Amino acid sequence: MITFLGEKIMRNQTFNKAVLYCSLMPVIVLSAQVIAQSSSSRGFLGRGIYGDWRVKQQIKTESREWEAESILSFSRDSEGNITGQWISVWGVNELKDVKFEENKLSFTQVFRFGDNELIQNFMGTVEDGKLTGILSSDRGESKLEGQRSPRMPRAVGNWEMKFKIGDRDITTTLTVKAGKEGDLTAEWQSEWGEHKITDLQYERGKLTFKRESKFQDRQMESTFEGTIGRDNTITGVMKSEMGEVQVEGKLMGAALIGTWNLDIESERGPLKQRLRVNPDMSVLYGSTLIKKINLDGDKVSFKFVRTFGDREFETSFAGKVAESKLTGELTTSRGTRKITGTKVVSTFRRRRSE
């Protein structure tokens, strides 16, 4: 009787577990779907349109046809509304009525040439990192196509690395580069020995790699684990058979690296332009890519050449950077203009779900 009762209780418990499992399964599946959709939505809305897009515009006139490159840059204001800029060789234009819903993008832009004004309306889509659509005005229509500009990982750049071996202070340079596919490589430059960096990984502020070192006939392997801070510093530990060493790093050129809003003097008042200095010291002046900007102490300079038809026009800049201000002169074949720039300070807002 006791055995029968025990078996009955066990059967009831098994049955109840099965019922409970079957009852909860739809809830679990539905919850998983909701979480996945919510996560996907956050990721999409978090970066779906925000950032820079390098776009090409097909322009046709009665006399000729050509392709113009520009940058569309989208962000948010303090109230969370989408804002946009059209950045080209001619300067920066603020977009109006920017709307982005269910992959559909629309905005209005106004170009002013002296007393003339050109209003263009854009309607298009953004999918899989590509932007396509039509710009229309009273002068006709033109096709616009573009791709998202990849973000350069914060680990990229030249890092001055300092540590101690015994009583000796050592200073080396860690140079991190990003490939076209986003893969990272690095070099360890030191007057002591030969070094090779492998297994470089960077994710969410964490930087790790292996280092193979050769000192004359001796070889040694070590590993590094560190954190890159918002203040452009690295703190970490290098481990080897000799023990652990505390390492401190600082991004070289940090005072210049970032986005600058420029005011350029002209007879019609200040013109707006944007200068973006990447961690690898490449530059975007407006929509023009410059391979390298020169920084010597506080002195800044760069130069580039634009081609229009069969003619070339050289532009050069010389100035200095101090306390988040950039001042100098821009020289072209038309003369010299003064430039003042203010560095854009990024604010990092945590999402509600974090």
pLDDT tens for the chain, 354 residues: list them.
333 333 333 344 443 434 333 333 333 333 333 333 333 333 333 457 999 999 999 877 667 777 889 999 999 998 889 999 999 988 999 999 999 999 999 999 988 776 778 899 999 999 988 999 999 988 889 999 999 998 889 999 999 999 998 889 999 999 999 987 778 999 999 988 899 999 999 999 999 999 999 988 889 999 999 999 999 999 999 999 989 999 999 999 999 999 999 999 987 778 999 999 999 999 999 999 999 999 999 999 999 998 877 788 899 999 999 999 999 999 998 899 999 999 998 654 444 333
Tokens of 98: 């920017």
Q: Any residues with CB less than 8 A from the CB of 30 and at least 6 apart, and which?
A: none
Phi, psi torsion values for 310, nearest 5 degrees: -105, 15
Q: What would the pLDDT profile of 107-137 be if each residue is shown by its tens digit?
A: 999 887 767 788 999 999 999 889 999 999 8
Residue spans per domain, the chain: 1-47, 51-148, 157-251, 258-343
Domains 51-148 and 258-343 share a fold: yes
Q: Of the candidates 250, 302, 304, 261, which has an alpha carbon nearest to the alpha carbon of residue 281?
A: 302
Q: What does the alpha-carbon distance between residue 286 and residue 262 come to, in Å, rounded to a whole number?
A: 10
Q: Any residues with CB less than 8 A from the CB of 325 and at least 6 apart, and which?
A: 340, 341, 342, 343
Tokens of 206: 């964490």
User: For residues 173 and 161, is the Cβ–Cβ distance under 8 A?
Assistant: yes
How many CA atoms, within 13 angstroms, populate the side-chain half-sphere of residue 3? 0
SS3 32: helix
Q: What does the alpha-carbon distance between residue 88 and residue 85 come to, in Å, rounded to a whole number?
A: 10
CATH class of 51-148: mainly beta
Domain 258-343 has CATH 2.40.128: yes
Q: Of the candidates 214, 208, 213, 222, which has an alpha carbon nearest to the alpha carbon of residue 176?
A: 208
Q: What does the alpha-carbon distance between residue 344 and residue 260 come to, in Å, rounded to a whole number?
A: 6
CATH architecture observed for domain 157-251:
Beta Barrel (2.40)
User: For residues 349 and 46, is the Cβ–Cβ distance under 8 A?
Assistant: no
- Number of neighbours of residue 175 by Cβ within 10 angstroms: 16
User: For residues 266 and 275, is the Cβ–Cβ distance under 8 A?
Assistant: no
Q: What does the alpha-carbon distance between residue 138 and residue 228 come to, in Å, rounded to a whole number?
A: 51
SS3 215: strand
Q: Any residues with CB less than 8 A from the CB of 286 and at least 6 apart, and which?
A: 71, 87, 88, 89, 90, 91, 92, 273, 274
Q: What does the alpha-carbon distance between residue 330 and residue 339 come to, in Å, rounded to a whole number?
A: 7
What pTM was computed for the model?
Answer: 0.79
